[in-house]
Structure formats: C-alpha cells, structure tokens
C-alpha cells in the first residue's frame, strides 16, 4: 500500500483515521532482537544509531532520540549537526535518529498530509521501543517542528514519563483537522516528561505549545520565519557544545537532566513574532546571531538572592574575626533562602522562607597572612541561583601558641562548675589563668582538655572556620581560687 497515494485521494477528515489503521496493520513491530536498525515492514519509519553508524542498538545506555520535522529527514544538515553535538557532549550515551521522511516529505503545499502522520508514527514507535526493552526513564527525546509533536506523542504512549524532552520550535497549528496540538491539551511536554524544554523561534512555530514545557524560551534571531524555524536546531546544537560560552551556560544537557529551574523568574515573557498571539509563560529571551548559530544575549529576570556580609573586627592583629551574613531572595519568587555557606561549609540556621531574611553569625580563627572567605547564599527554589560575596582580612602577627582561646569567663557562686566559651584551631589542653582586675593574671597549676569543635570545622589543616563556639567546663572543686573572679584559657 502506498500511503501517500491514498492520502491524496481522500478528504482530510479521513486521513488521520486511515493512518491510525495503517499504524496497526502496516507498521508492524519487528522482534526485539539485537539490530542495527528498527523499521516498519514497508520502511516508512526507522530508528537507527547515529553515534555509531551501523552500530547495534542497545537498551542499557542513556539514550537520545532525535526526530526531524516536515520535509526533512535524518540526513538533513541541522539534524545531523544536532545528533553529533549530543554525541560529543555525552560521549557515553547512545544517540538514535528516528526517520519518518517518507511520511513527512509531502511538499510545501501539503503540510496537512505530514501532520496527519504524526500520531501513526508515534503509535508505531512507542510500543517498538518498549518491546525492544527501553525503559522510559532512560529515554531523552528531541524533536523539531512536527518532530516535536512526534516525540511528545511517543512519550505520551509510554507507560511512564520519559527522562527528558526538548521541543525545538514546535510547528504552527496549520492543520487542526489533521493534528491539533493546542485543543484538548493534545500536546503537553511537562505532563509527558520528567523534565522538558521548549524553544519558540518563529511564526512557523506554535506560540501556545512551548509554555506547556517546564521551561520555555523565545529565540529571536531576526531571520525570516522559515530560516529562523530551521536555525533553532543549530542554535541548540551550538549551546550544548559551548558550555563555557556565557550565553549558552544554562542550556547544556546536564542542565536539562538536573530537573531544576534556571536562574530566572518564571512566566514573565510573552510571544511576539509576526502573527503570534501574545501568550505569556516564557522564562527568557535568547537573542541569536543572524547566522542562526550562536546566542548573543539572554534576557531574563534573575532570582539571585540578596546577600550582605561583613567581618568584625577588622584589626590586623586579631586572632579571631566574626562574620555576619544576611540574605533574602530579593522578592524574586518569594521562595526564601535554602542555605548559606562559607568556603563550602554550610552554616546552621541558614534558611528562610518567603520574604523572610536568613542570617548567620560565625567566629573564625585567622591564620597569619591573608584570610579569604567565600560566602554563598542559595535561593530556596531556584537551586542554581546563587549570590557570592568574597571577604578577606589580613592578620599580620604570628600565631602564638599560648594565645587566648576566646572569651573570658566569670565564675558564678551558685554553680558548681566554671564555664568558659572557647573556639580555636586545635583540640588539646589549655592552661587556666585567673584575675580579679582583668589586668594582673595568675596561672593556675591545672590544665584542662579542650574539646574538639565538631560543628563546621575544617579538618584539612591547623586553621579552620568554627561555626558558633564550644564550652570548656571545669569543676570548681579543682580550682583553688577565689569565687567570682575572672578566668581565661590559654593553649599549652
């Protein structure tokens, strides 16, 4: 049966029903045996490896399936470029291409004939992938134009959500009688994938469907519609291959797979291409170079937290310094602060909700020379939204082995113990001294074990950051001194 011939002789209202029947009768599933290609009986649709040409298809690897759109094929230059970029970006993964060009190549005057084949192709592909042994959680689907609808229809027919889905300028709703992606929520990327992205780049694309992804982006290249519609594939390939590029940074495949929103306030932008309805729900606008290859700017409203920090005291001979922090989400999303850390060590009591403020007060031991502290506040919802402050203080004097540990303690006649709050670089023993006037100190012929400061200590070296303080507690019966005098501890 020649499907294209039959389609041309029938009303459009019957085409879709015919194609569904063909998908059951004609697009028969091959046995799930090791193969270099999966195809239907009449070779209207096939799936083959792109990362290893002629290689055997396996199911025990993270797998990417790239699907072309209308009047294209797996050998179209932008599709081969994208498949190659995925392969180089994720060299341990498997990259497949699904070719449905015999059903999609219907000429520029007959898009409805191609649109009517979207569901039959997906109806064939989904059970084939399952029969072959693929788990949905191991599949990542990338589709362009009509191919974006093919991948969603495949995902919708899997027993559970696929791992990820990328829709590159899903096609305009030109043939609602053949395939209507808008009404009745036919296409919904976020519903059918654990995580999804959608890019809207032209009037040839649909402005309503992309906002049904977890994150949606407008791509503005200034190109005419048909060129912009095709160029978005090359743009995505460029971004995943150039993660050091400041404008590609948030669009790598690792970012896609981390299931986390980017550093932008959601749903702030609306579609605006010629003939578009103004549809709100886009996270950012990517401005593409007219060559259609690389981004030149990414416009978005950031969610980075506000963070203020200070060090007290700032005198150069201080052995200790206090770091004060205050962070809020700056009203971007009102999701609060998830954490504050210093030099990679998370602080206690460092979170806040809503518009509340998270604060921190820490005591740090200073080593001789320059001491640098990196304080990072993370937004409570957008985990990649971080604000970093760098503080430094220089200690000019050499550390003394008998320097005071920290505060002076005062005994209390009503208590049976003497407690001195301490902090310092090392655990060990401390010699005690007392004074009645805070000027003349007398040594007590006793030493006490200094407890290890276990909260947030840096064990990599002799100096570290100490969050809070510990306490040195000594029974008064061991002290032959007058009550209600002052005490201090010195390292032995």
Q: Which residue do the tokens 């290893």 mark?
A: 52
Give me the tens of pLDDT residue by residue for the chain, a chain 492 residues long: 333 333 334 444 444 444 444 444 344 444 444 578 888 878 899 999 999 888 999 999 999 999 999 999 999 999 999 999 999 999 999 999 999 999 999 998 899 999 999 999 999 999 999 999 999 999 999 999 999 999 999 999 999 999 999 999 999 999 999 999 998 889 999 999 999 999 999 999 999 999 999 999 999 999 999 999 999 999 999 999 999 999 999 999 999 999 888 888 889 999 999 999 999 999 999 999 887 789 999 999 888 888 889 887 655 566 667 788 888 886 566 678 888 888 777 776 678 887 788 887 776 767 778 888 899 988 877 656 888 999 888 877 654 444 444 344 555 555 566 666 554 444 556 667 777 666 677 777 666 665 544 334 443 333 334 433 455 566 655 555 555 566 666 655
- The CA–CA distances, whole Å, from 435 to 5, 191, 480 equal 105, 72, 13
Kindly report whether the peptide bond that precedes residue 29 is cis, defined as omega within 30 degrees of 0: no
Structure tokens at 484: 């209600």
According to CATH, where is 3.40.50.1820 located in the chain? 3-299
Domain 306-395 adopts which CATH fold?
Answer: Immunoglobulin-like (2.60.40)
Q: What is the DSSP letter of 346?
A: E
**Which residue(s) pair with 488 in the sheet?**
433
Sheet holding 486-491, edge to edge: 409-410, 486-491, 428-435, 442-450
What was the pLDDT predicted at 398? 53
- The CA–CA distances, whole Å, from 343 to 307, 326, 338, 464 equal 15, 16, 16, 10
3-state SS assignment for residue 102: helix
Pair 431, 447: CB distance under 8 Å: yes
Q: What gap in Å lies between CA 378 and CA 460, rounded to an integer?
A: 25
Domain spanning 3-299: which superfamily? Alpha/Beta hydrolase fold, catalytic domain (3.40.50.1820)
Return the ∠ at Cα 289 (arms to 84 and 234), rounded to 5°: 20
Element (H, E) at 230: helix 225-241
């Amino acid at each position: 049966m020649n499907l294209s011939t039959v389609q041309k002789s029938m009303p459009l209202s019957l085409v879709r029903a015919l194609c569904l029947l063909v998908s059951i009768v004609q697009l028969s599933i091959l046995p799930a045996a090791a193969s270099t290609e999966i195809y239907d009986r009449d070779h209207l649709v096939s799936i083959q490896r792109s990362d290893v040409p002629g290689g055997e298809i396996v199911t025990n690897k993270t797998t990417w399936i790239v699907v072309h759109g209308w009047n294209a094929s797996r050998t179209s230059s932008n599709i081969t470029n994208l498949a190659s970029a995925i392969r180089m970006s994720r060299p341990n993964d498997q990259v497949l291409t699904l070719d449905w060009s015999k059903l999609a190549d219907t000429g520029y005057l007959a898009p409805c004939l191609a649109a009517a084949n979207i569901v039959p192709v997906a109806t064939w592909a989904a059970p084939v992938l399952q029969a072959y042994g693929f788990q949905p959680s191991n599949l990542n689907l990338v589709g362009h134009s009509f191919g974006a609808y093919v991948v969603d229809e495949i995902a919708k027919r899997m027993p559970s959500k696929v791992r990820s889905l990328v829709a590159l300028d899903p096609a305009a709703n030109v043939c609602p009688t053949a395939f209507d992606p808008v009404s009745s929520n036919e296409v919904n990327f976020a519903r059918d994938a654990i995580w999804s992205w959608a890019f809207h780049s032209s009037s040839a694309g649909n402005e309503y469907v992309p906002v049904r992804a977890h994150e949606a982006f407008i791509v503005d290249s200034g190109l005419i519609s048909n060129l912009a519609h095709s160029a978005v594939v090359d743009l995505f390939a460029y971004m995943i291959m150039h993660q050091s590029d400041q404008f590609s940074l948030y669009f790598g495949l690792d970012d896609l797979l981390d299931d986390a929103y980017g550093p932008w306030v959601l749903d702030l932008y609306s579609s605006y291409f010629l003939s578009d309805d103004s549809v709100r729900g886009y996270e950012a606008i990517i401005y593409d170079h007219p060559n259609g290859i690389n981004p030149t700017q990414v416009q978005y409203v950031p969610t980075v937290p506000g963070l203020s920090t200070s060090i007290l005291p700032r005198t150069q001979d201080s052995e200790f310094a206090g770091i004060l922090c205050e962070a809020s989400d700056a009203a971007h999303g009102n999701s609060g602060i998830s954490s504050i850390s210093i030099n990679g060590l998370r602080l206690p009591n460092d979170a806040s909700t809503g518009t509340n403020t998270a604060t921190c007060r820490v005591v740090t031991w200073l080593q001789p020379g320059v001491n640098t502290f990196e304080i990072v506040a993370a937004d409570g919802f957008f985990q990649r939204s971080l604000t970093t402050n760098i503080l430094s203080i220089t200690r000019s004097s050499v550390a003394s082995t008998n320097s005071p540990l920290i505060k002076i303690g005062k005994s209390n006649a009503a208590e049976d113990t003497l407690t001195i709050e301490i902090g310092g670089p090392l655990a060990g023993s401390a010699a005690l001294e007392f004074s009645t006037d805070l000027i003349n100190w007398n040594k007590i012929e006793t030493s006490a074990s200094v407890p290890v400061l276990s909260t947030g200590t840096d064990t990599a070296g002799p100096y570290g950051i100490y969050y809070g303080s510990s306490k040195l507690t000594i029974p008064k019966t061991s002290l032959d001194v007058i009550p209600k005098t002052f005490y201090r501890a010195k390292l032995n």
